[in-house]
Amino acid sequence: MLKTIESREDIELLVDEFYKRVIMDELIGYFFTQVVRLDWNTHIPVMYDFWETTLLGNIKYKGNPMLKHIELDKKEPLTTGHFDRWLSIWESTIKENFMGEKADEAIKRATQIGGVMKLKIQQHTSHGEHG
C-alpha cells in the first residue's frame, strides 16, 4: 500500500530506499562509493534535512547543494546521463513507495533542482578551468 509523504519518518524511508538503489547503480553508484566516498552517517541525515525542508517546510537544511555538485564535477565530470539516471531512480523509488501531492512535488522539485544544477555546472565548466 502506497502512503503519502507527511513526516520526517516518511522522508527517511524515501531517502534510505533511494540511496540503497543509487549506490548499486552501474552508471552513477561509483560517484557515491569511489569518487566522493561519502561518510553515510554524515551525508544521509543531511539528505533527510534537505528533503524535509523542501517537501514539508520544516527548515532543517541550510547548506548549498550547488557548490557541492560543482566541486564533485571537478573531481569527475557530471553528464546529462548521470543526472537523468539519478532522477529516474528517484522517481521510481517514490512511485513504488508513495503517492499523493508531496510525492508528486518530490519528483517535480528533483527535476527542477537537477536542471538548475546541470546548467550551473555547464556554466562553471565553460567559464572555469575546463574551458
| Chain segment 85-105, per-residue pLDDT in tens | 999 999 999 999 999 999 999
Domain residue limits, the chain: 8-125
List the single range of 24-28, 61-65, 78-82 with lowest mean pLDDT. Answer: 61-65
Q: Is the pLDDT of residue 131 over 50?
A: no
pTM of the model: 0.85
- Mean confidence (pLDDT) of the chain: 88
Cell of 45: 541525515
The confidence band for 69, taking pLDDT boundaries of 50, 70 and 90, is low
Q: Are 86 and 22 in contact (CB under 8 A)?
A: yes
Q: Are 21 and 14 in contact (CB under 8 A)?
A: no
**CA 85/CA 25 separation, integer angstroms:** 9
**Cβ–Cβ contacts within 10 Å for residue 121, how many?**
21
**CA 12/CA 82 separation, integer angstroms:** 23
Superfamily of domain 8-125: Globins (1.10.490.10)
Among 96, 104, 84, CA closest to 27? 84
